[in-house]
Structures are given as C-alpha cells and as structure tokens.
Chain A
Amino acid sequence: MGDAECGGLPIAASRVDVVRGETQVLSAVDVSIECGVRTFILGENGSGKSTLLRVLHGLVAPTRGSITWGGSGLRPPRQAMVFQRPVLLRRSAAANIRHALKLAGVRGANSDRCIENALERVGLASLANRAARVLSGGEQQRLALARAWALVPEVLFLDEPTASLDPPSARAVEAIIRDIHALGTTIVMTTHHLPQAKRLADSVVLLHAGRIAEHTPAAQFFNEPRSAYGRAFLEGERL
C-alpha cells in the first residue's frame, strides 16, 4: 500500500440509529473505519449495508447517535463514492471527470492532466470524448471509478460496484479498486459477492437486521466467524 493520508480518519460511528418512517434501518451501530484498511460491509438484502455506507460517507444523517471523521463532526472533503448504478452526466467521459474536478476546485492544465491520468489508469483513454451514457455498463463503472480516483480521495466508498456487471468487467473493477487502495486510499465497500470480499477485504463488518453481528479481520471472518449469524451467513443459511 502507498502512503495513506488519514486526516479524515478514523471514521467513527457511535450508537447510530437510522429510522425511516416506521422502519428501523440501523440500530445502535458502533463501528470504526481505520486508515488504509479495506473494510467490506456484508449482510443480507435489507440489512442496512447501503444505509451504513451512506452514513459513513455523510450522505445520510443518523437519526440518533453520532458520526465523526478524524475526530471532527464535519465531513472532510477528500471522500468519493461510487454507486451500484453509476450516475454519469450527459457529457463526454472526460467532461464527467472535469465536472467533479471543477467542484473540487481543480481547473485548467491540472485538471486536464488529472483527467488524462485517471482515464489511462482505468483503460478508457481512447474513449475520453465518447458520451458517458453510451458506454457499456462495465465502462461506465470504470469511468465512475476514474472520476473518484481523479479526486485522490482519502476514503473511497463503493456501493456494490460490480453487482450489475459480467465477470470480466467485475474483475476489471476489482483490479482498479486494488490499484486505488495501493496508492493509499482507504476503501469501504458493500457487496453480496463473498468470493470478491474474500479476495479484497482486510476487514469485514457483518450486518444483521440493522445491527452489527460482527466486525472482524477478513481472514478470521472467512475461516472462523465469531458469531453464530456469521457462520450461518457464510453457509447461506438464514437465522
């Protein structure tokens, strides 16, 4: 791993509840995301994975409890998120990255250089001027990763980024995630794909019905989960 920058880390959620209408989505969640670690959030559908990811990124405010980034209650600027279905503007691939850089205050020659590098890294340099929305699903997700990468984030949040991709595209996205992490970015990702989590994760947060069932190093989780729910989850059983 490269030299991690950790001004906005650890991200600490303390007794976080999220309630939507009558539904308790997250209950008393305590979790800490450490610098340079690839943390994977696992769980069944509806267990609150995506909501927890959004809380950690600052997109969703907790109903109760608190969230801090590097000890501060203010979300730091150097974070990025890639969604399951990439949200791309109706512009060229390069213009999508330029827009993100402009919002981050990067303009001119610096911006051009960042765009070129980011597209090169994800293998989309030849498609820089192609309209983003006419790219294939895999290319769109790589472009979303390039946009995030161009921002040089301390933390990259990924919400099931390979869920709708074919295996080769998914592996390409995995390789990019590895590269981004190798340059020092902390990764927080949700997935349903256990082999992928096994390949990429350093740490696993397992959610069950909005509560943390366990938070363990990935190697331990996949060999000998601490919780009964963890064992059942790995065996594909419901508790």
Chain B
Amino acid sequence: MNTIAESLSVALAMVMHLDPRVTAIVALSLGVSLTSTLCSAAIGLPLGAAVAIGRFPGRDALIVALNSAMGLPPVVVGLVVYLLLSRAGPLGPLGILFTPQAMVIAQTVLIVPLVAALTRQIVDDAWVEYREQLQSLESSWLQSTLTLLWDTRWSLLTVLLAAFGRAASEVGAVIIVGGNIDGVTRVMTTAIALETSKGDLPLALGLGIVLITLVLALNVGAHVTRHWARARLG
C-alpha cells in the first residue's frame, strides 16, 4: 500500500514539475496521435459522407465492413502494418519501420474505420432530413456532401475526439511497428507497459495520470462542444 502511495506521490511530482522524461514521451504521443487523427479525418470524413449519400452496388456490404472494422484488434493491425513496412514487405523500401511515421500509419489504419463508420451514420441521418431540400435547390453530389459535412461538424468533431482518444490510448499496434525505442518511438502507452514490467511505477503512474487526464479532457471537451452547439445552432 505504501509503495503505491509513494509511487503516486512521486508520479504526481513528476507531472507537476514537467519531468523531461514525461514531457518527451507525452509530446511524442500527442504528435503521433494528432497526426494519425488528422490523416484519418482526411480519409474517413469524405469516405463516410460518400457512403452515406451515394447509392451504388455493394454499399450495404461496405457499411457492414466499416462497422466491423471499428473493432479491429490493434495487434493485428500492427502485425499487418509491420509486414507491409518490413524490409521484405511491399513498403519496405520506404525504410520507416520503427519510426513515428510507422506508428502514425498503424494508428491511422486503426481509426479510419471508426471515423468513416460514425461519419456515415451521422451524415446518413442528416441526409434523410436534408435530401429533398438539397435536391430542390439542385445541389450537386459534391455540394451536398460538403453541406452535410459542414452542418454536422459538431457531431463530427466528437467523432474525431473519440478517434484521437482511441489512437492515444492504443498500445498493441504502436509497440509492434514502433519498437518502443527510447527517445524515438516510446509513447505513453508503450512506456507504461515497459516501466510497469521494469518496476518503475512512478513513471508508469505519472504517464497513466497524463493519459487519463487527456482522455477525460477530450470527453469533457466533446460534451461541452455538443451542448454549446445545440444551444447556439439548434
């Protein structure tokens, strides 16, 4: 019990005093997860909107595939990306295995289905409501897509926050493709796993506090944003 209390006390001190080890790991984590969230937004938002508005053969199958892919096991994604980026893999010549870029790719693969599937659902609901009005205004497919994405932006922001949360708290994929190299690819989740196994509980706890605070702040932010938007824009 004392060990836990002491570790927690040291962890809090590390966080409060912005311990360089903690800040370096947090900075890399944020950089990788933010980048992968932006990449997933660039792919998932238009993909989800296109599936919502478009009517094409195989649409239902694609929706089921996207929904199913939301539950992709991170270690499997990590393994696939590892095989693609390994020296013998098709993307081996890029030479980015065990770099933050590889971690961004793995996280992006992991959260694109989440962004696309939830965007599809949100835009689909809006399309049911707006379809006739937009068709009456002779809005093209592209114009309708952009209109719906803009009009559902606050709900989509929540989706992106959820995607960022999943990316930031994921460990399986990034440890496989990043290698958990100190100062290079060590992020919060992989560092927590490693430090716990080494018995360095204060650092693991300190990073855990930051991670939980971050996820909590994201959820509070999403909640406040949604309520603010509903009150202001109806």
Contact = CB atoms under 8 A, between A and B. Distances in A.
Interface of A: 54, 57, 59, 77, 79-81, 83, 87, 89-91, 99-100, 103-104, 131-134
Contacts of A87: 129-130, 132-133
Contacts of A81: 132-133, 136
A68 B81 CA distance: 56
Given A90-B151, A99-B147, A103-B143, A131 B136 contact: no
Given A87-B129, A87-B130, A103-B143, A80 B136 contact: yes
Given A90-B151, A91-B233, 16 more contacts: A59-B132, A59-B135, A77-B138, A81-B133, A83-B132, A83-B133, A87-B129, A89-B147, A89-B151, A90-B229, A103-B137, A103-B139, A104-B138, A131-B234, A132-B234, A134-B234
A90 B132 contact: no
* B interface bracket (residues with beta carbon within 8 Å of A): 10 to 19
Contacts of A90: 151, 229, 233-234
Interface string B199-234: 000000000000000000000000000000100111
Given A91-B233, A131-B232, A100 B137 contact: yes
Q: Is the interface of A mostly helix, strand, loop or mixed?
A: mixed
A13 B232 CA distance: 44
A85 to B, nearest CB: 9
Interface string B100-140: 00000000000000000000000000000110110111110
A131 to B, nearest CB: 5
Contacts of B151: 89-91
Contacts of A77: 138
Contacts of B135: 59
Interface of B: 129-130, 132-133, 135-139, 143, 147, 151, 229, 232-234
A133 B230 CA distance: 10
B136 A57 contact: yes
Contact of B138 (A54, A91, A103, A131): A103
A131 B132 CA distance: 21
Contacts of B130: 87, 89
Nearest to A80: B136
B17 to A, nearest CB: 44
A56 B151 CA distance: 29
Contacts of B143: 103
Contacts of A83: 132-133
A103 B233 CA distance: 22
A81 B130 CA distance: 13
16 contacts: A59-B136, A79-B136, A81-B132, A81-B136, A83-B133, A87-B130, A89-B130, A90-B233, A90-B234, A103-B137, A103-B138, A104-B137, A131-B232, A133-B233, A133-B234, A134-B233
Contacts of B147: 89, 99
A114 to B, nearest CB: 14
A132 B233 CA distance: 7
Contact of B233 (A59, A80, A104, A131): A131
Contacts of B138: 77, 103-104
B50 to A, nearest CB: 19
Q: Which 6 residue pairs spanning A and B have beta carbons closest together?
A: A133-B234, A87-B133, A81-B136, A90-B233, A134-B234, A131-B233
B116 to A, nearest CB: 22
A129 B37 CA distance: 33
Nearest to B231: A134
Contacts of B229: 90
Nearest to A132: B234
Residue from B133, B138, B147 with most neighbouring chain A CB atoms (10 Å): B133
A131 B137 CA distance: 20
Nearest to B139: A103
A91 B232 CA distance: 9
B148 to A, nearest CB: 10
B108 to A, nearest CB: 29
Contacts of B234: 90, 131-134
B55 to A, nearest CB: 14
A57 B233 CA distance: 30
B156 to A, nearest CB: 12
A228 to B, nearest CB: 35
Contacts of A91: 151, 233
